[in-house]
Structure 1
Amino acid sequence: MRIGAFLLAAGFPGRTHADVLDSCVATAVAAEEAGFDDVWVAEHHFMSYGLVPSAITMAGYLLGATSRIAVGTAVSVLSTTHPVALAEQALLLDQVSRGRFRLGVGRGGPWVDLEVFGTGTDRVGDGFAESLDLLLRALRGGPVAAAGERFAFREVDVVPAPHTAPHPPVVLAVTSPQGRALAAAHGLPMLLGMHADDVEKAAFVRGYPAAVPDGRVPGAAGTGCGIGARGHVSVAVAHVEDTTAGAQAVLREALPRWLGPGLAGHRRVDDAPHRPRDPVAYTDLLCRLHAVGTPDDAVARLAGSAARTGIDHVLLMVEGSGDRGRVLENVRRLGAEVLPRLRRVRPAG
C-alpha cells in the first residue's frame, strides 16, 4: 500500500491562524520523517474548516520544506480558477521539484466562492468538463488554444514544459457517477473522500472500467497519471492511542468543536437554504468508518478497507485531535507502528 497524509489546516477554535498553518507545515515535515509516501493539502475559501485558500501555493512551500516526499493538492478547486493559470503553476512545481508534485482537482460546490472570483455557477455544472479538458491540454506544455463556450483565446506557448511526461500526475475528486464518467473519459484516477464508506467506494471502483472509453487503466504506463499501482486514492481519518476508547474519546471531544463552525462556513451562491452536517453525528460516523483506535485497530481497518475497495493508496487525515503535539505524535506512531505493516498488504482486485 501507498500511505499519504491529508492536511486540512483545520481551524480549531482557540488556535491562531499562524499556529494552525505553522502546524500544518510541521506535520508535513514530520510525515516525511515518519516514512509517509506523500502529503496532500486541501483548499477552502472563506471558512474555518480549512485555512488554506490556495492548495498549490502551500504545496510549493511544502516541497521546499521537504526533500523526498511527494506533495499534492487535494484538491485545487478548478471551478474558481482559470485552467491555464493552474496548469502553469503545476508545471512550475513539477519542474522545480523534479517530479515530486501531484495535482488533485475537483469541481467544488455551489458556494459563494463562484461569486467572489467571478467564475459563475456554470463552472461547477456543464462548464466543468470544458475546464478539465483545457487544464489537461495545458499541462502537456507547448502550444494551446481554445475555442470553447467558456474559454476562447489564440494559441499560446505554455511554459515551462513538464518535467514528468506527458504531464504531472493528476487525480480527480469524484462524488457522483457523472464525476466518475468524467475521470474515466480522461483516464484519471479518482480521489474518494472520507465521508464515503467502503461499500460506496468499492461501487465507484467497480463502475469505473465500464466508463473508460478505450480500456485505459488509471496509473498505467502512458496515461501520465502514475499515482499508484491501481491509481485511485482514498481519504480516511487516522488517530491512534494506546486504547481504542482513548483514541475515540480524543476525536469525539475535538472534532465537533471544529466541524460545527467549520461546516457552517459553507454559503451557497444562490442563498438557498443549506443545512450542514450535524457535527456530533458526523464525528460518530468518522470514528466508525476509519482508523481510530490502537495501532492494531488502524492496521486492521486500513487493510480491510483496501481489501474491500481494491484501493491501494490512502491519505490519512491526521489532524483530528486539533492539538499540535498530539498530531505530531499521531504521525510518529502511524509511521512507526502502522505504515510498515500496511506496506505488506496487497489489496484484492
Structure 2
Amino acid sequence: MADEVRVGVFLVAAGFPGYGHGQVLSGAVDAAVAAERAGFDDVWIAEHHFMSYGVCPSAATLAAYVLGRTERVEVGTAVSVLSSGHPIALAEQAALLDQVSGGRFRLGVGRGGPWVDLEVFGTGIDRFENGFAESLDLLLAALTRDRVSAKGETFRFREVEMVPKPGRPMRPVIASTSPGTVEVAAARGLPMLLGMHIGDQDKAAMMEGYAGAAAAHGHDLTGIPHVAAGVAYVADTTSEAVATMKAALPRWLEPGLAGYRPVDDRAYLPRDAHDYADLLCRLHPVGSPGHCAETMLATIERTGIRHLIFLVEGAGDPELTRRNITRLGAEVLPLVRASC
C-alpha cells in the first residue's frame, strides 16, 4: 500500500582495510540473508568500479545471487550506472531478474559521475554530461514496450523485440543528487532515491522541487515510492554507537573516497573522512534503539518519504554487520512500525 513504511538495508560491499574482496562480497551476501531473517523489507546493492569504496562492479549480478539466496525480500540496485553501460542490456537483465524472481527485483539507476569508468568502458564524458535523459528514456521504452528502436544522438539501431519482457510494469527509482536529475525524474513521474550525504532538510527541499516539477508535467504525486538512504548502527547507548562509527568509518572512507578518479583533468578533492563520518552520525540513526527509532520516524515526518534504506556495514567487520542487522530488526524496526 502507498502509506506503508518500508525499511531496507543498503549494501555497498565496502572495502575496509584488512579484508579481501571475496570476504567483502561474501559478507555482503550474508548481510542480505541476515536482513531477510531480521524482518527488513528489501536489500539494495550499490555498484562501483575500480575503487575500494565498493568492490561490487555489477549491482544486477550480485542482486541475482542474493535473489537466489533469499525467499521474501525484494532486492534492488542502488544503483546501476547508466552512463557507463547500455540501457537495453540493463533492461534485458532487469526483465530477466523480474521474471525468475517472481517480481522481487527492483531496479534503481543513476547518472554516475565524471569518473574513469567512462574511459575504460568507452562511453565517454558526453554520456555523463548530456546523455542521461536519452539513456533513461530508452531504458523505459525497453521495459514497457514489446519492440524498441532508437534514432537519438547517442543510440541508433533498428527495431528489435525485447526478450524477455518484465512480468509486471517496471518503473526504476532514480538516484537524484542535483536539481537537474530531480527534474528528469519528475518529468517522467519516476521515484527518486535520495542519498545519505544530505539530511532531512535537504531531502525535504528536493521533494518539494520534485512535487512542483512533476505536477507541471501532469503527474499524480499520490503513491510515488521515493526512497531515502542513510546510515544505521545500533548499540546499547548512543555514545557507544557514535564512538564505534567515528572510529571505523574513516578507515573505509579515506581510501574509498580517494578512489574516485576523474576521466579528464577536472579537479577532485575528496571529503575529509573524519568530518564526513561525524556528519553521517549526526544525520542518521546511529545510537541506542530508541534514538535510532526516533531518528527514522523524524525522517519520515520531515520528508514525507516512507521508504528508508540504511547502510549497515559501517563498523567494518562482517560479524558486527550481521549483529547490527539483527539488533535493528529486533529492537528498532518494531518501534518504527508501531508508530506509523
In the superposition, the TM-score normalised over structure 1's length comes to 0.94
Cα distance in 2, alignment partners of residues 332 and 216 from structure 1:
39
Aligned pairs for 1:209-224 (under 5 A) are 209-212=211-214, 213-217=216-220
Structure 2 matches for 1:133-172, cutoff 5 A? 133-165=137-169, 168-172=170-174
Q: Give 1:68's match in structure 2, choosing from 54, 62, 72.
A: 72
Query: Does residue 1:257 correspond to 2:251, yes or no?
Result: yes
CA distance in structure 2 between the partners assigned to 1:321 and 1:250 by the alignment: 7
Letter in 1 for 2:113: G
Q: Map residues 282-321 of structure 1 onto 2, 5 A cutoff.
A: 282-321=276-315
Contact 1:172 1:190 in 2 (8 A): yes
Q: Matched residue of 2:160: which SS?
A: strand
Cross-structure match for 1:58: 62
Report deviation, 1:230. Answer: 4.4
Amino acid in the other structure paired with 2:123: T
- Report the Cα distance in structure 1 between the residues aligned to 2:327 and 2:95, rounded to whole angstroms: 34
How far apart are the structure 2 equivalents of 1:105 and 1:217?
A: 22
Aligned 8 A contact 1:230 1:312 in 2: no
Output the amino acid matched with 1:77.
V
Distance 1:143 1:182 in 2: 24
> What is residue 96 of structure 2 aligned with on the other side?
92
Report the Cα distance in structure 1 between the residues aligned to 2:246 and 2:291, rounded to whole angstroms. 17
Equivalent position of 1:8 in the other structure: 12
> What secondary structure does 2:329 align onto?
helix
Shift of 1:215: 3.2
The secondary structure found in structure 2 opposite 1:109 is coil
2:340 is the alignment partner of 1:337: no
- Residue 248 of structure 1 deviates from its aligned partner by 0.7
Residues paired across the two proteins, number = 335
Q: Percent identity over the alignment?
A: 60
1:2-47 per-position Cα deviation (integer Å, ceiling 9, x unaligned): 1000000000000111111100000000000001000000000000
CA drift at 1:341? 1.8
**Do the aligned partners of 2:46 and 2:78 also contact (CA within 8 Å) in 1?**
yes
Structure 2: 5+ residue stretches without partners: none
Task: Give the letter for the 1:317 counterpart.
Answer: L
Describe the SS at the equivalent of 1:144. strand
8 Å CA contact 1:91, 1:160 repeated in 2? yes
Task: Provide structure 1 residue ranges, at least 5 long, that are not aligned to the other structure.
Answer: 221-228
2:190–2:224 contact (8 Å) kept in structure 1: no
Q: 2:113 aligns with which of 79, 94, 109?
A: 109
Aligned to 2:55, the other structure's residue is in SS state: coil
Shift, 1:343, TM fit = 1.8
Structure 1's 333 and 217: CA in aligned 2 closer, same or farther, altered over 3 A?
farther
Which residue in 1 is equivalent to 2:32? 28
Q: Residue 107 of structure 2: SS of its match in structure 1?
A: strand
- Whether the aligned pair in 2 keeps the contact of 1:37 and 1:69 (CA below 8 Å) is yes
1:124 shift after superposition: 1.2
Is the 1:55–1:76 Cα contact (8 Å) retained in structure 2? yes
> Partners in 2 of 1:107 and 1:230 — Cα distance?
20
Deviates more, 1:296-305 or 1:140-149: 140-149
- 2:177 aligned with 1:175: yes
Q: Distance in 1 between matches of 2:310 and 2:73?
A: 15
> Which residue of the partner structure matches residue 206 of structure 1?
208
Task: Give the AA of the match of 1:189.
Answer: P
Specify the SS of the correspondent of 2:204.
helix
Separation in 2, partners of 1:134, 1:10: 31
Instruction: Find out whether 1:245 has 2:239 as its counterpart.
Output: yes
Provide the C-alpha distance between the structure 2 equivalents of 1:215 and 1:17, rounded to a whole number of angstroms: 46
Letter of the 2:117 counterpart: D
Contact 1:141-1:162 within 8 A present in 2 as well: no
Cα distance in 2 for partners of 1:230, 1:311 equals 9
Partners of 2:199 and 2:143 lie apart in 1 by 32
Deviation at 1:117, TM superposition (A): 0.3
Which residue of structure 2 aligns with residue 190 of structure 1?
A: 192
Amino acid at match of 2:219: R
What is the Cα-based RMSD across aligned positions, in Å?
1.1
Task: Give the match for residue 328 of structure 1.
Answer: 322
Question: Structure 1 residue 272: deviation in Å?
Answer: 2.3
Tell me the secondary structure at the aligned position of residue 139 of structure 1.
helix
CA drift at 1:147: 0.5
Q: Which range is displaced more, 104-113 or 271-280?
A: 271-280
Q: Does the Cα contact within 8 Å between 2:140 and 2:171 map onto a contact in 1? A: no
Q: Does the residue aligned with 2:43 lie in a helix, a strand or coil?
A: strand
Q: Contact conserved, 2:241 with 2:288, CA < 8 A, in 1?
A: yes
For 2:39, give the aligned amino acid.
G
